[in-house]
């Protein structure tokens, strides 16, 4: 069965410092992987997606993630946090042949302090 | 371009009452999804429509939940009767529906926050 584990439920960083949100996936085959962000009272927004092309994926707002098959990881990073990055982040897996079914992790709440 | 529209944004009802949520997907999107998001958790798929056909409703509790997508555009999700445990956010999403390979981007609405008292 496909699943994702987000290793931290809460992450707190200072503005201007790097962000690392960790995600491990479980999949028998090469899945599609996504990161979504959810700001309060707003819809989920796609940050980036991996679909078996380049292993380093660049997304919006300076975020990027690296697919590491050997480690079954898809960690999200950003070199310098901004106050507006404070939100809930979800790592998502879509199994191959799953007809676009998304399986969400439990989420990581990112807090950014001045 | 308008995004996915949902209404109402908030709903408070007493248990055993019926409730309905409405979703208008992005124009031209053939696939529509309803998700349930409990507090502190990620969304879980309830039902997926391809045009007007429900092609995956395996996670929909059919004893009290129902959904329809007449004419393959707008969709309504209903709960009757509501229970305390139904308090959650109900999300609607849509996608073009051109790919079955997990690469079809889903666009989410803001959700309806349901509180059952």
The pLDDT of residue B97 is 76
Beta-carbon separation of B102 and A98 below 8 A: yes
Nearest CA in chain A to B57: A101
Alpha-carbon gap, residue A35 to A15, rounded angstroms: 21
Alpha-carbon gap, residue A4 to A90, rounded angstroms: 10
**In this structure, is residue B52 part of a structural domain?**
yes
Q: What is the average per-residue pLDDT within B49-72?
A: 91
Q: What is the average per-residue pLDDT within A13-27?
A: 95
Beta-carbon separation of B102 and A51 below 8 A: yes
Q: What percent of chain A has pLDDT over 90?
A: 73
- Helix (H) or strand (E) holding A85, with range, is none
The pLDDT of residue A94 is 86
User: Is the minimum CB–CB distance between A108 and chain B shorter than 8 Å?
Assistant: no
* Segment A52-103, tens digit of pLDDT: 778 899 999 999 999 998 999 999 999 999 999 999 999 999 877 666 788 9
Which of chain B's residues have a Cβ under 8 Å away from the Cβ of A98?
Answer: 102
The pLDDT of residue B1 is 64
Beta-carbon separation of A43 and B108 below 8 A: yes
**In this structure, is residue B113 part of a structural domain?**
no
Choose, out of B93, B102, B105, B109, the residue to mutate when testing the contact with A (most A CBs < 10 Å).
B102
**In this structure, is residue B103 part of a structural domain?**
no
Q: How many domains does the structure of chain A reveal?
A: 1
Nearest CA in chain B to A96: B101
Mean pLDDT over the full length of chain A:
91
**In this structure, is residue B117 part of a structural domain?**
no
User: Would you place residue B103 in the very low, low, confident or very high pLDDT band (cuts 50, 70, 90)?
Assistant: low
Q: Give yes or no for residue A7 having a pLDDT over 60.
A: yes
What CATH number has the domain bearing residue A37? 2.60.40.10
Q: How many domains does the structure of chain B reveal?
A: 1
Beta-carbon separation of A43 and B105 below 8 A: no
Q: For Cα atoms B54, A42, A107, give the angle at the middle one, nearest 5 degrees.
A: 80
Chain A residues 33-52 with CB within 8 Å of chain B: 36, 41-46, 49, 51
More confident residue, B100 or B9: B9
Bond from prior residue into B8 cis (ω within 30 degrees of 0):
yes
Provide the residue range defining the domain that includes A99.
3-113
Choose, out of A95, A100, A102, the residue to mutate when testing the contact with B (most B CBs < 10 Å).
A100
Q: What is the average per-residue pLDDT within B65-83?
A: 94
Provide the residue range defining the domain that includes B81.
5-9+16-98
What CATH number has the domain bearing residue B47? 2.60.40.10
By CB atoms closer than 10 A (0-12, 13-18, 19+), residue B116 is buried
């Amino acid at each position: 069965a496909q699943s994702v584990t987000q290793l931290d439920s809460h992450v707190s960083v200072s503005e201007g410092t790097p962000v690392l949100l960790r995600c491990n996936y479980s999949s028998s085959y090469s899945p599609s992987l996504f990161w979504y962000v959810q700001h309060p009272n707003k819809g989920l927004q796609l940050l980036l997606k991996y679909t078996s092309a380049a292993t380093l994926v660049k997304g919006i707002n300076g975020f990027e993630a690296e697919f590491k098959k050997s480690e079954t990881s898809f960690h999200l990073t950003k070199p310098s946090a901004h106050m507006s990055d404070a939100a809930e982040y979800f790592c998502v897996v879509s199994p191959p042949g799953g007809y676009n079914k998304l399986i969400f992790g439990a989420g990581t709440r990112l807090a950014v302090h001045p | 371009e308008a995004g996915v529209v949902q209404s109402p944004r908030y709903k408070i009802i007493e248990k055993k009452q019926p409730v309905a949520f409405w979703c208008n997907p992005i124009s031209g999107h053939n696939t529509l999804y309803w998700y349930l998001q409990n507090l502190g958790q990620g969304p879980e798929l309830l039902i997926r429509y391809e045009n007007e056909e429900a092609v995956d409703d395996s996670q929909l509790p059919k004893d009290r939940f129902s959904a329809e997508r007449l004419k393959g555009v707008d969709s309504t999700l209903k709960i009757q009767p509501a229970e305390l445990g139904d308090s959650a956010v109900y999300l609607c999403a849509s996608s073009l529906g051109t790919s079955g390979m997990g690469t079809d981007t889903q666009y989410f609405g803001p959700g309806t926050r349901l509180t059952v008292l």
